Amino acid sequence: MTTPEAQERFQALVDGHKKIVYKVCHSYCRNPDDRDDLAQEILTQLWRSFASFDPRYRFSTWMYRIALNVAISFYRRERVIERHVAPSGGQLLQVIDDQAGEPEEIERLYRFIEALDPLNKALVLLYLDGNSYQEIAEVLGISETNVGTKINRLKKAMKEELT
């Protein structure tokens, strides 16, 4: 599925969900250059998998799965997935309004997420993004009960960390 229509449709869908890529990259990479590399890895993988996307399912769930799988692999210095994107010479996700920067609380939250292991990073990110336990379970492939247990544990850890 590489028709111009498919490309356009993909671009429109990704544009509508670009925040997912931004937040995943910010949670898994401290370095801005790495973030951009990761964003390119994610977008490349999304495009490669787009042919198998079933429109009956939510695009965001599908996108989360791919973005998180790529990010975890990238984070762990995955070498199976070598970098296969040549430097583009530009930023894929451009911040066009950075006057105020991120509020302090959001910065602290990103730092808290950054300190977590790659699987719990994914969990917190999905929770903060307003996903239900069922949706989180679908993306991560664990049970809803398990999601609840982990969220409660992370809430406790966060209270200790950020108070």
Partner 1 sequence: MIDLDEMREKWAEHDRKLDTSIRLNRQILKTLQVNKARWALRRMAVILILGAIATLAVIVPLGAFIYANISEPRFALPAAALDLIAIAILAAQIAQAAIALEIDYSRPVAAIQKRLETLRIVRIRYIQGIFLAAALVWTPLLIVSFKGFFGLDAYSLFPGAWLAGNALFGLAVIPLIIWLFSKFGSDRVMDNLAGYNLKAARGFLATLSEFEDEQA
Please give the residues from 78 up to 117 whose contact with partner 1 meets the rule CB under 8 A: 78-82, 84-86, 88, 90-98, 102-103, 105-106, 108-109, 117
Minimum CB–partner distance for residue 112 and partner 1 (Å): 9
Minimum CB–partner distance for residue 105 and partner 1 (Å): 5
The token duo for 31 is 């370095």
Site for partner 1 in 61-80 (CB under 8 A): 62, 65-66, 68-70, 72-73, 76, 78-80
Query: What is the three-class DSSP state of 91?
Result: coil
Which of 24, 29, 38, 124 touches partner 1 (CB under 8 A)? 124
Spatial contact of 19 and 66, defined as CB atoms under 8 Å apart: no
> Around Cβ 79, how many Cβ atoms within 10 Å?
8
Q: Angle, to 10 degrees, between the axis of helix 18-28 and the axis of helix 104-114?
A: 60
Which of 14, 24, 29, 38 touches partner 1 (CB under 8 A)? 14
Instruction: Give buried/exposed letters for 111-148 (b at 16+ CB in 10 A, else e).
Output: ebbeebeeebbbbbbbbeeebebebbbbbbeeeeeebe
Which of 30, 115, 132, 145 touches partner 1 (CB under 8 A)? 145
Minimum CB–partner distance for residue 139 and partner 1 (Å): 6
The number of residues that bind partner 1 (CB under 8 A) is 77
Minimum CB–partner distance for residue 133 and partner 1 (Å): 13
